[in-house]
Amino acid sequence: MGEQPRHAIADSRVSARVQSFPESVIREMTRLCLHHGGVNLAQGFPDFPAPLELKQAAKAAIDADLNQYAITWGAPRLREAIAVAVKRTYGLEVDPGRDVTVTCGSTEAMMAAMLALIDPGDEAVILEPFYENYGPDAIVSGASPRFVPLRPPDFALPQEAMKAAFTTRTKVVVINTPNNPTGRVLRTEELRLIADLCVDYDAIAVTDEIYEHIVYEGLRHVPMATIGDMAERTVTISGISKTYSVTGWRVAWAIAPPAISDAIKRIHDFLTVGAPAPLQEAAVTALQLPARYYEGLLQLYIGKRQRLLAHLRAAGMSPVTPEGAYYILCDLSDLGLVDDVAFAKWLVGTVGVAAVPGSSFYSRRADGSHLLRFTFSKKDETLDDAGARLAALPELLGRASVPGIERRGA
Ligand code: GLN
């Protein structure tokens, strides 16, 4: 199953471009989970309520009839609030008039940034494993991807491979810290190495920092734009989805120097015109929440991380503790996992827990076929429900032949 060309669309009228990438495996797992009535630890969205203040602000904005288009690249109040938050958090000066584009989620921000920067044949260096969207982002924008593998257990940046990946054709390097799916938080020295390469090869860093406020273990998130003069050649992407538990609102932003922002604004304008106006108003409220909100968010996710780690261990897996974001990548080689897609489909259908097959984070699917990703952005009771279902796993694996699992010595 994992080897089937899942992206084939049996109709010659559709473009070669869209034929060359599959549908999102993450969203597919959510649909399968709904079909089977399972517990969704696949797609990274909270199943608990969004903050009351945000919901009230959204409703108030609709009642106040802020229901027409905002300025295409973002309501002025929101761009101002973004600039203030970035200054307060990282000491970075951002001009809300020139440097900020508000987008429909960071997904649009990333696609718009790539379309704004890439000419066909330009190369994009992408750290691997990578959030599945970056593959199609590269294909749609015409970039030739050059993947640099980060290896377990620590997923440190491999210096020599990184240097070897940059060429005279490198236009962008795509970074995601804290990382989805590994949870890795890039260290300052690693960011410096990437920054030096960007300067040497005149490349732009496009950096997805959507999990910027979800960092554990006394580590801290360092934005690429704070390294040396990198603000001049960085597109920083973040948004309200993960930090404020409103993934369905689709409000995010790209921060970049004026010439690049102008290009992103132009693409964004013709892609979507703008993000939802009343929800942009509520995003202002989000960005003005006090420091204790972020402390509470972190405590919440520290507890959930422990909870899911315990459930996964009890089910016989060896999960790696993530440094940031809200995913746990599990290596199931010990259990004999060889086909993650077949196993994930069996797991949701039989055990009732949805996870994301690891291969969806790799350019060569075989590199991730022994991995599964679970999210802990869920209510404690949801995590416990998943834990109770997963507890049956060791026995099921011992008894029956299970799709995707190869028995050792059998
Ligand atoms: N970023 C989330 C994840 O990795 C949600 C992806 C999506 O469906 N937009 O699960």
Q: What is the pLDDT of residues 185-235, one digit of tens each?
A: 999 999 999 999 999 999 999 999 999 999 998 899 999 999 999 999 999
108: CATH: 3.40.640.10
CB of 180 sitting under 6 A from ligand 1: yes
How many whole angstroms from its chain centre is CA 25?
Answer: 13
Q: Is position 3 within any domain?
A: no
Domain boundary (287, 317, 337) is at 287
Check whether residue 165 and residue 251 sit in a common domain: yes
Give CA–CA dist 357/24, Å, rounded: 11
Atom of ligand 1 nearest to the CA of 43: 10
Is the minimum distance from the CB of 377 to ligand 1 under 6 angstroms?
no
Give the per-residue pLDDT at 5.
Answer: 44
The verdict on 45 and 64 lying in the same domain is no
Position of tokens 């919440």? Answer: 300
Residue 120 inside a domain? The answer is yes
Helix residue ranges per DSSP H, 250-369: 258-272, 277-287, 291-314, 340-346
| Lookup result for tokens 């649009």 | 108
Of all protein residues, whose CA lies closest to atom 1 belonging to ligand 1?
A: 44
Q: 368-406 burial, b if ≥16 CB within 10 A, otherwise e?
A: bbbbbbbbbbbeeebbbbbbebbeebeeebeeeebbbbe
Query: Is the residue at 407 inside a domain?
Result: no
Index of the ligand 1 atom closest to the CA of residue 375? 10
Domain boundary among 287, 316, 344: 287
Same domain membership, residue 57 and residue 45 = no
Residue 46 Cβ contacting ligand 1 at under 6 Å: no
Same domain? For 226 and 352 the reply is no
- With a 6 Å cutoff on the Cβ, whether 197 touches ligand 1 is no
Do 162 and 208 fall within a single domain? yes
Q: Is the pLDDT of residue 3 over 70?
A: no
Residue 86's contacts (CB-CB under 8 Å, 6 or more residues apart) are: 92, 94, 255
219-223: long-range contacts, CB 8 A cutoff, minimum separation 24: 219/185, 219/323, 219/324, 221/177, 221/178, 221/185, 221/324, 222/177, 222/186, 222/187, 222/188, 222/191, 223/90, 223/92
DSSP code per residue over 47-78: -SPPPHHHHHHHHHHHHTT--SPPPTT--HHH
178 and 231 belong to one structural domain: yes
How far is residue 106's CA from residue 92's CA, in Å, rounded to a whole number?
20
Question: Are 272 and 134 within one domain?
Answer: yes
**Within 13 Å and on the Cβ side, how many CA atoms surround 84?**
13
Indicate if 24 and 117 belong to the same structural domain: no
Is 408 within a domain? no
Cβ(43) to ligand 1 under 6 A?
yes
Domain count within the chain = 2
Place of tokens 């390097």: 173
Residues 201 and 314 both lie in one domain: no
User: Quick check: 181 and 373 in contact, CB under 8 A?
Assistant: yes
> Is residue 403 domain-resident?
no
Same domain? For 384 and 348 the reply is yes
Does one domain contain both 21 and 64?
no
The number of beta carbons lying within 10 Å of the beta carbon of residue 318 is: 13
Do strands 356-357 and 371-375 pair parallel, antiparallel, or not at all (unpaired)? Answer: antiparallel
Q: What is the pLDDT of residue 207?
A: 98
Has residue 404 been placed in a domain? no
Within a domain: residue 136?
Answer: yes
pLDDT for position 16: 87
Structure tokens at 3: 């080897």
Q: Kindly give the distance from the C-alpha atom of residue 63 to the centroid of ligand 1, in angstroms, as a whole number.
A: 30
Report CA(242)–ligand 1 centroid distance (Å): 10
Q: Which one is predicted more confidently, 106 or 3?
A: 106
The per-residue pLDDT for 22 is: 82
**pLDDT tens sequence across 19-56:** 888 888 898 999 999 999 999 999 999 999 999 999 99
pLDDT for the residue numbered 4: 41
Q: What Å distances lie between residue 34 and 37, 109, 159, 242, 247, CA to CA?
A: 5, 28, 42, 22, 18
Residue nearest to atom 2 of ligand 1 (CA): 44
Are residue 275 and residue 296 in the same domain, yes or no?
A: no
Which of 261, 287, 313 is the last residue in one of the domains? 287
CA of 24 to the centre of ligand 1 (A): 9
CA of 224 to the centre of ligand 1 (A): 22
Q: Which of 45, 130, 214 to mutate to test the pocket of ligand 1 (most atoms within 8 A of CB)?
A: 45
State which residues form the domain around 138: 52-287
- We report the CATH number of the domain holding residue 363 as 3.90.1150.10
The answer, yes or no, to whether any atom of ligand 1 lies below 6 A from the CB of 105, is no
Of 352, 409, 410, nearest to 386 by C-alpha is 352
Kindly report the protein residue whose alpha carbon is nearest to atom 4 of ligand 1: 44
Tell me if 206 is assigned to some domain: yes
pLDDT band at 343 (very low <50, low <70, confident <90, very high): very high
Task: State the average pLDDT for the chain.
Answer: 95
